[in-house]
Structure 1
Amino acid sequence: MDTTEDASVFEEKNLKNYNVVVFLSTTGNILNDVQQLEFQRFIQAGGGFVGIHAAADTEYEWPWYGKMVGAYFESHPNDPNVREADITRIDKTHISTKMLADTWHRNDEWYNYKNINPEVTVLLNLDESSYQGGTNGENHPIAWYHEYDGGRAWYTGGGHTPESFLETEFLEHLWGGIQYAAGDGKPVNYNLETVAPQESRFITQTLDQNLDEPMELVMLPDGKLLFVERKGAIKVYDGKIKSSTVIHRMQVNTKFEDGLLGVALDPNFIENRWIYFYYADPMESHQNLSRFVMSSDFMSIDTTSEKVLLTVTTQREKCCHAGGSVEFDSNGLLYVSTGDNTNPFESDGFSPSDERPGRAPFDAQGSSANTNDLRGKILRIKPEPDGTYSIPDGNLFPKDGSQGRPEIYVMGCRNPFRIHIDSHTGFVYWGDVGPDARQDSMNLGPRGHDEVNQARKAGFFGWPYFVGNNKPYYKRDFAKQVTYQAFDPAQPVNESPNNTGIKQLPPAQPAFIWYPYANSDEFPLVGDGGRNAMAGVVYYADDYKDNPGRFPRYYDKKLFTYDWIRGWIMSVSMDEEGNFKSMERFMPSHKFSNPVDMIMSPNGDMYLLEYGTKWFAQNLDARLVRIEYISGNRKPVAAFEADKILGAAPLTVQFSSAKSVDFDNDELTYEWYFEGFDAVQSQEPNPTYTFEKPGEYSVHLIIKDPSGATSEKAMTISVGNEMPQLAWNIQGNSTFYWDNSPLSYSVNVSDKEDGTIGNGIDEQAVAVTIDYLERGFDANEAAMGHQEVAAFSIGKQLMDRSDCATCHQMNEKSIGPSYLQVAEKYKKDANAVSYLASKIINGGGGVWGERAMAAHPKLTPDEASQMASYIISLGQQAGKKKLPAVGKYVFNQHKPTHKEGKYILTASYTDKGGEKMGALTNNQIKVLRNPMIPAYEADNIHEVSKFEITPEQTNGAVKEKTEIILGNAEGYAVYKNIDLTTIRSISLTVMFNSQYFTGGAVEISLDKPDGAVIATFEATALKNGLQQLATNVTETSGVHDLYVRFSNEKSDGTVLALLGLKFSQQKAGTSL
């Protein structure tokens, strides 16, 4: 027997030496994601678990553990917490209870439990009539056991007091539990198929990177990978030459979220070479689902072969949501997902159902809930050889169109960005990106949720009337700003004037998985934060019988889901009918870089597209990735870093392979290729190399173990242009904003090739915006708004560098019309940008006179679109306001009652490009938050816990569900990166109840638990209920981490409940 408090020992090489793991009054989250997987593998390998007392107060966000331990702690009596009680023996024969009396009287702290697993076998029951404070009633289990996931688990609720471990009966009871958990004493067996594979057996290889908004991916019959990028590029990756080739650039509209969005191969692709694309028409306001013919070598597309199967009419006045995933099922039916094409930013993050005249782009009832509209749907058609399509049986509406468009299979979607069809069951899975409301509203409806959905047949999935598991929104009159009854999921009715279909809709279907920004009660493993749900593949091991490198059978019939923002992949277990059973992290230590598509190859390995960090941009971490499983000798994993990945020539780069690893601890050799594969250019682990000439260099590292197994990593080094540098300079506090307070700022820009503002860089080329986001920091919304201004600045630069000034002036007609004349002519044309971009590239005449406009074929469609956008913007009075690089701003866009909003300060600059390198764009974002910080937003907590309270629990002291921090003595909460410049006082919103809390003191210290104390709050004479504590702070400047510490010299209980912190530039008064 060994004891430890070091969680790092939770790995196979250590755990395989034991039969039982005992959690002795653990509490909170004690294992990280990787350690959780290792503990789970130990149990699956036949290991045993014993939980004592507070083991039930552990790992609340890990459902697998909750089922194993058997229940979670809910509460216990107070004043005193330790009491005498009677225990009734239920099982007289079990090895852990056979020595006990039928009634066992003892003294301990008695837990009340929640989420009791009905599959446990109860050994002992607590008699609540023998003490006060029980809440479980007659069935109050206090000890139990069960077989679980290949192993055995035993739990006892006793053991809080040190005296327990001096009691003979309790020790015999405990020893019996350990003996049960140990089973037959045989070593655990990690070779069972039911044991999750070690993460180290999955090898991630980056095939290509620095992609420009990759969208969707297919594998060609010869093993090449074809993927599309939103701005129109169609690329093919060839593993033999280890690089991607642009085989075609499709002309597409890229306004808002439109572009080239989806791709699929025909089921008979080998014979007919038909390939399907879903893209935004460059001229008209609609999306096209088109079929093309590829060449026999799969390296070109015959653009004259286009057959437009289907068009989806859209509006391009307002953002957002285009969907765009395309996939065939095993019966040859083609599915395409479409977004609701509705602006979400003026409905407070709830249902966008604005029925006012002229507000159709703000009403998803006219798209998602409209049976005669193809937006907000998943469509299902059968393509015909002549380029038309027919309607298959089983769609949602009759084929004659009498009740709605017969192409509709699923309706009621918001933004079904990625879909998958189970090849065995035919079930359709998709992720639907949800709205932004952070909290439930009593009048408007539920907070926003993302969804993973499962359609076993055609149906209506709720949007914009329901979200999650059919949580209803309320009917809302946007003109009168009043709401009425909640929508009924059993009988949803669409009465919007923008609805052109039937009013009575099919019953709403609940989501398969759903989760908000905050922690999810139903699916706690998904975590919290930004969200963007996606549905991946359902894996069937027998589909890849002949490949020893396939994913292991452990994942058989499991669904892989992923989240673009949170960067995780989950494997979801289902029962035989397809109902949700459980989920677990796949490769839990790996943070994926915004995964956007996933496929399994014919060999049974996985390929991913990763979008990368920044929205609407080419990203160095946008990648094409392969994940393969190694069953025998594990390949080494090549990884390397560079201190610079771009810069001016000559460029000296220090490379490091320190993160390369061999999980079998073999000695490795290194081969570096810096400029082609003609010769090995270094065999050092960490070489330095100088790139003398401008260009893009694909650097490859190949590592090899003694058995000959190799692994390769590639990275692109761009030489010839230095990244521009930007910095925000803010006078005063750089963390918070206050009502109507002024902000003085400046933006510095420097570029090695271009210079600085006023010295080579035109200030007009620097895009500066300040956005207020009412519902919190939505990166997509902020990026979309800034994109308009950035496009203006980039477009102006492109115009200035072109020959346009030869024929056009700003205000006066020259050889051609003035820019303002063009802007006036096309200001009401929704397709103006696409039309003018085409004219700029191809030239033309006859519109303004006989003089023909010269063509500019070297411009890309994206560059031409930016130039056209700049011209059109000159005639628009409204729109996003560009701010100067040096200026003042007043914080007056927020409502004083809204505490969650943030001001997003964004500055960007696109340089003029360099030799053999295109232009580079960099941005700098600064976020200023409300000075009232909810307590639960703590970045770290130690020996304190987060807890959700309701109005009922507080007698109305809080008005809605609220997360709080229970401040236990000697515990603390950490709030990082808080600028204390100009801060003169801090107030705390706290809740006190003398029945549960001890009172004491709260201190705020700088940068560490025992750092300098800047504020002390006495909490020894509090009244029950909600109240404010305020104090002046020691004047401090600069950014610090704040440690909020709770203390009570006489008790180790809970001091108080903390709801929030408020920072003020004014001194504190006697009360707040």
Structure 2
Amino acid sequence: GGSIEFDANGLLFLSTGDDTTPFESDNYNPIDERQDRPANVDAQKTSGNTNDLRGAIIRIKPEADGTYSIPEGNLFPPGTPNTRPEIYVMGNRNPYRISIDQHTGNLFWGEVGPDASVDSARRGPKGHDEINLATKAGFFGWPYFVGNNKPYWKYDFETQKSLFEFDPAAPVNTSPNTTGLEQLPPAQPALIWYPYDESEEFPMLGTGGRNAMAGPVYHREDYENSAVRFPGYYNDKLFIYDWMRNWIFTVSLTENFEYDTMERFMPSTVFDKPVDMQFAKDGSLYVLEYGTYWRAQNDDSGLYRIEFAPGNREPVAKANANQRTGAAPLEVNFSSEGSMDFDPEDQLTYSWDFGDGSSSNNTPNPSHTFEKPGIYPVTLTVTDMEGEKASSKLEIQVGNERPQVFIEWAGNSSFYFEDQPVQYSVQVVDREDGEIDSERIDFSIDYIAGGFDLIQAGHQEEQVSVGENFITQAGCKACHAIANESVGPTYQEVSAKYKGQSDAKDYLIGKIRNGGGGVWGGERIMPGHTHLPEEQVGQMVDFILALEDPDYGKVSWPLEGEFSPEQSDNPEGYYLVQASYTDQGANEIAPLRGNAQLLLRHPDMKAVAADRFENTAKANANGLNFVRFTQRNSWIAFDQIDLRGIRQVEVLVNPAGIEGRLEIRLGSPTGPRIGISEILRQGDQKGYFFEVIPLNKTEETADIYFVLKTDSGISIWNTFNLDRILFKR
């Protein structure tokens, strides 16, 4: 609570929280009516109480003498027994940020919901955050309902028995702690609602921590004389945002003010915990960002102004270099690729400052040799035809060449085969270090059950931490950081606390998946993450525990030997092979790390895991997740597949009413053909069947295309479906 707004008529709206602890009710609705309990465990005395201003949004008219009056249209007319006439909306848990549409008078607010991470058959739904809309006064459900009126149970905390589900059409408050009416108004559903895990109704909102907030509704006509107002595309759209998930969405409503659609606003921009937003008098949008960490002086906090530039727009500069480190003399090829101007008629001029006292260069893609060791700031400045400029900077370090790391892998470098051991060796060459100390080479082979961002082998300067990647993907960094204080303990603190404890891993896996609190003091509870696979959580815990104990869970792999993939019935799993070496630095240039990687996938791959698609659709039906080819010459492609030793592929297909062949081509949809199926059609077999396609012998690594060739008419009823592809030796 604590959000204040005035409407166009000068009426004051003020939101209040329910003043009830969420930590005494297992993260479900707090309705503990026992008389020997603390005063803050029953929200029926606050947000469910018609005679209390807590857990509500009040609406009053301030008067010139410092008093206030009650406007018409509030939830309870003045004089109604056991009610407060100031209440406009009740049944709120934490209406953290409210907004008034000055044109319609509609009230919007973000409701921060409870923390239960799973539905309970006898307690009620998991927690949801909400975006709410009130076109008139009403009761919005808490503590009896959440989301689109998902009902909680009447729960007897003394006997620990669930008695009945509350009815949103006729909710009642029979708590002995209330001072208000027993019969409450019908509960109003939320406009938008979403839990910790993926929302069935609004999957675009993502997963992880929640803190919903409602921003303004944009009306372009309010800024007629502005040169920076937003375009008409955003007219009448509601801006919503989430402090935990770092996004802003715009929501379109129907004429009846019901939900229609939503889309991400500035999807390529990460907003670092947006906490407030407002349109200025000129139609620009101000966004206040709290920054990454809780209770910290964040470098990435700030107040930002977003304008629409309909006239001449500022160009974009992007400086690139084929190498940024190396021994002297160092020749570097620079590129301005990615520099652009959004105005089609504009032409750019270029100016490069190499930072070494040499003359500037006015070509788009120059080469330059740095003769002496040192650190050189290089700046590219681009200028459009009207004089607008933009700059891009990068740093060139001369005097220390990055070590070269090689993984010599005797087997296929794209796939692992469970019955085929592979000989390998790791080699490191460093120009300045000379002889390499093998003890300083890091080498690992990790099995990943799935869900990890695929890393293009050989193009990462830093070694990838599987566990840290999972932590980032799961959104854990919204509440935790490695070293910086946040709402939860730092990972270094967790690592130190459990260092040396034999059961630490199992304990922390359970804590992360099931949630809990109290270990670190205070009342704040971590929600459960039951949607995360246990094996992923285990690798997250491995990363955390290794922060204070670098040898924790570390498997010692020899730099030369034989690797035998383990048997697994999980075709989504893969092996990440990594080697890295950090040199000792030279010529006052800091040490550099060299890295090599291989990503070995299971040879049985889902078609939907392809890297690129053309005229296809990803579909789900009958428990299958497959690719539907929607036109003749449709294709899917897998990038950089090592075909050494691959002699055939086996596909799981359903021609579904058409006849055709699958062609397998290299490099492009019209590149060299290395395989073609027999005519595929539905015969005696119905639905999906396997088909083996022989391949011409090839030993190269290339992009591989699966192209549909057919003369049949493809329609909604007649499509070609591809489920799996098995690469076979």
- TM-score, L = length of structure 2: 0.55
Residues 452-473 of structure 1 show CA distances to partners (whole Å, capped at 9, x for unaligned) of: 852566858999xxxxx88xxx
Tell me, yes or no, if the aligned pair for 2:279 and 2:286 is still in contact at 8 Å.
Answer: no
Matched residue, 1:883: 557
Residue 973 (structure 1) aligns with: 636
Inter-partner Cα distance in structure 1 for 2:303 and 2:578: 31
Name the SS for the 1:714 alignment partner: strand
- Measured in 1, the distance between the counterparts of 2:704 and 2:127 equals 32
From 325, 337, 342, the equivalent of 1:647 is 325
Give the aligned partner of residue 1023 of structure 1: 684
**For 1:694 and 1:1048, how far apart are their aligned partners in 2?**
62
Instruction: State yes or no: 1:665 paired with 2:345.
Output: yes
* 2-structure distance, mates of 1:918, 1:774: 36
Displacement of 1:679 in angstroms is 12
Pairs within 5 Å for 1:8-27: none
Structure 2 counterpart of 1:1046: 708
Indicate the structure with greater helix content.
1
Please tell me the residue identity of whatever aligns with 1:984: R
Q: Does 1:933 align with 2:605?
A: yes
Letter in 2 for 1:784: E
The within-5 A match list for 1:256-295 is none
Per the alignment, residue 634 of structure 1 pairs with 312
- Once residues 431 and 740 of structure 1 are traced to their aligned partners in structure 2, the CA distance between those partners, rounded to angstroms, is 51
State which of 712, 721, 724 in structure 2 corresponds to 1:1060. 724
Partner AA of 2:726 in structure 1: K
Q: Is the 8 A contact 1:451 1:512 kept in 2?
A: no
Hey, what's the Cα distance between the residues in 2 that align with 1:1063 and 1:978? 10
- The alpha-carbon deviation at position 562 of structure 1 amounts to 8.9
- 2: CA distance, partners of 1:919 / 1:947: 49
Shift of 1:970: 4.5
Residue of structure 2 in register with 1:1002 after alignment:
662
Asked if the contact 1:1003/1:1015 (under 8 Å) is kept, the reply is: yes
Structure 2 counterpart of 1:768:
444
Structure 2 match to 1:737: 416
Over 3 Å counting, the alpha-carbon distance change for 1:870 and 1:554 in structure 2 is closer
1:40-92 per-position Cα deviation (integer Å, ceiling 9, x unaligned): xxxxxxxxxxxxxxxxxxxxxxxxxxxxxxxxxxxxxxxxxxxxxxxxxxxxx
**Residue 904 in structure 1 maps to residue 576 in structure 2:** yes
Contact between 1:726 and 1:749, CA under 8 Å: does it hold in 2? yes
Distance apart, 1:366 and its partner CA: 9.8
1:910-959 CA-to-partner distances (Å, cap 9, x unmatched) read 55556666555565553333322233334444455554333xxxxxxxxx
* Letter aligned with residue 1044 of structure 1: F
Q: Which amino acid aligns with 2:251?
A: V
CA distance 1:369–1:492, change in 2 (3 Å): same
**Deviation of residue 890 (structure 1)?**
3.2
Q: Distance in 1 between matches of 2:645 and 2:291?
A: 40
Q: Contact 1:1009/1:1043 (CA < 8 Å) preserved in 2?
A: yes
**What is the distance in 2 between the residues matched to 1:1006 and 1:365?**
62
SS where residue 1036 of structure 1 aligns?
A: coil
3-state SS, counterpart of residue 563 of structure 2? strand
Contact 2:131–2:214 (CA<8 Å) still a contact in 1? no
Give, as a single letter, the amino acid of the residue that structure 1 aligns with 2:706: V
1:743-794 CA deviation, whole Å, 9 max, x = no partner?
Answer: 4444444555555xx615634x525241322456589982428999xxxxxx
Superposition map of 1:189-200 within 5 A? none
Residue 661 of structure 2: SS of its match in structure 1?
Answer: strand
Structure 2 counterpart of 1:1041, one-letter code = D
User: Residue 627 and residue 881 in structure 1: after superposition, are their counterparts in 2 closer, same or farther (change >3 A)?
Assistant: farther
Give secondary structure in 1 for the equivalent of 2:677: strand
Change (3 A) 1:977 1:691: closer
Alignment of 1:466-485 (within 5 A): none
> What is the identity percentage for the equivalent residue pairs of Structure 1 and Structure 2?
22
Task: Please give the alpha-carbon distance, in whole angstroms, between the structure 2 residues aligned to 1:674 and 1:334.
Answer: 57
2:192 pairs with 512, 515, 518, which one?
512
User: 2:131: which partner in 1?
Assistant: 454
Question: Does the C-alpha gap of structure 1 residues 1004 and 611 become closer, same or farther in structure 2, counting only changes over 3 Å?
Answer: farther
8 A Cα contact 2:129 2:195, kept in partner: no
Q: CA contact under 8 A between 1:371 and 1:501: conserved in structure 2?
A: no
Q: Which runs of 5+ in 1 are unaligned?
A: 1-265, 268-328, 341-363, 373-390, 397-407, 412-418, 436-443, 464-468, 471-487, 613-621, 789-821, 832-865, 951-959, 1066-1072
Change (3 A) 1:501 1:567: same
| Aligned match for 1:713, one of 391, 394, 410 | 391
CA distance in 2, matches of 1:734, 1:773: 19
1:427 partner SS: strand
Residue 394 of structure 1 and its aligned partner are, at CA, apart by 1.1
In the aligned structure 2, how far is the partner of 1:868 from the partner of 1:947?
40
Quote the RMSD (CA, aligned, Å).
6.5
Aligned CA distance change for structure 1 residues 680 and 885 (closer, same or farther; 3 Å): same
Indicate conservation of the 8 Å contact 1:450/1:532, yes or no.
no
Equivalences for residues 799-948 of structure 1 within 5 A: 872-873=549-550, 879-892=553-566, 894=568, 896=569, 898-912=570-584, 920=592, 923-942=595-614, 945-948=617-620
Deviation at 1:637, TM superposition (A): 0.7
- Partner of 2:678, secondary structure, is strand
Q: Deviations over 1:334-372 (max 9, x none)?
A: 99xxxx9xxxxxxxxxxxxxxxxxxxxxxx999755969
CA–CA distance in structure 2, aligned partners of residues 985 and 1039 of structure 1: 15
Mapped contact 1:670–1:685 kept (Cα < 8 A): yes
Structural mapping, 1:181-220, within 5 Å:
none
1:822-870 CA distance string (max 9 Å, x none): 9769997999xxxxxxxxxxxxxxxxxxxxxxxxxxxxxxxxxx99956
Q: Does 1:987 align with 2:664?
A: no
Give the superposition deviation at 1:1023: 1.6
1:980 Cα deviation from its structure 2 partner: 2.2
Cα separation, 1, equivalents of 2:408 and 2:25: 45
CA distance in structure 2 between the aligned counterparts of 1:679 and 1:507, rounded to whole angstroms: 78
SS in 1 for 2:466: helix
| Equivalent position SS for 1:759 | coil
For 1:623 and 1:1014, the matched residues in 2 are separated by 56
* Partner Cα distance (2:320, 2:567) in 1: 43
The alpha carbon displacement at 1:663 in A equals: 1.0
Shift of 1:1041: 2.9
Tell me the residue number matched to 1:1037: 699
CA offsets per residue over residues 164-192 of structure 1, 9 Å max, x none? xxxxxxxxxxxxxxxxxxxxxxxxxxxxx
1:428 has 2:428 as partner: no
The Cα of 1:623 is off from its aligned counterpart by: 12
Identify the structure with bigger relative contact order (alpha carbons < 8 Å, sequence gap 6+).
Answer: 2
Q: Where do residues 325-724 of structure 1 align in structure 2 (5 Å cutoff)?
A: 393-394=54-55, 409=93, 422=99, 425=107, 427-428=109-110, 453-454=130-131, 489-491=150-152, 512=192, 538-539=215-216, 548-552=227-231, 554-555=233-234, 558-559=237-238, 571-574=250-253, 579-584=258-263, 592=268, 596-597=272-273, 604-605=284-285, 628-631=306-309, 633-644=311-322, 646-648=324-326, 652-657=331-336, 659-661=339-341, 663=343, 665-666=345-346, 668-670=348-350, 672-673=352-353, 675=355, 681=360, 685-688=364-367, 699-705=378-384, 707-708=386-387, 710-719=388-397, 722-724=401-403
- Report if aligned partners of 2:655, 2:682 keep a CA contact under 8 Å in 1: no
Amino acid at match of 2:152: Q
1:619-665 deviations in Å (ceiling 9; x for gaps): xxx99997853545313313132215731465554444452326162
Separation in 1, partners of 2:142, 2:676: 58
Unaligned runs of 5+ in 2: 5-11, 32-51, 58-91, 102-106, 134-139, 169-188, 293-299, 456-463, 473-497, 509-542
CA contact (8 A) 2:128 2:194 kept: yes
State the 1:962 CA deviation.
Answer: 3.7
Give the match for residue 229 of structure 1: none
* Conserved 8 A contact 1:1004-1:1042: yes
The answer to whether the 8 Å contact 1:410/1:461 transfers is no
- Retained in 2: the 8 A contact 1:1004–1:1014? yes
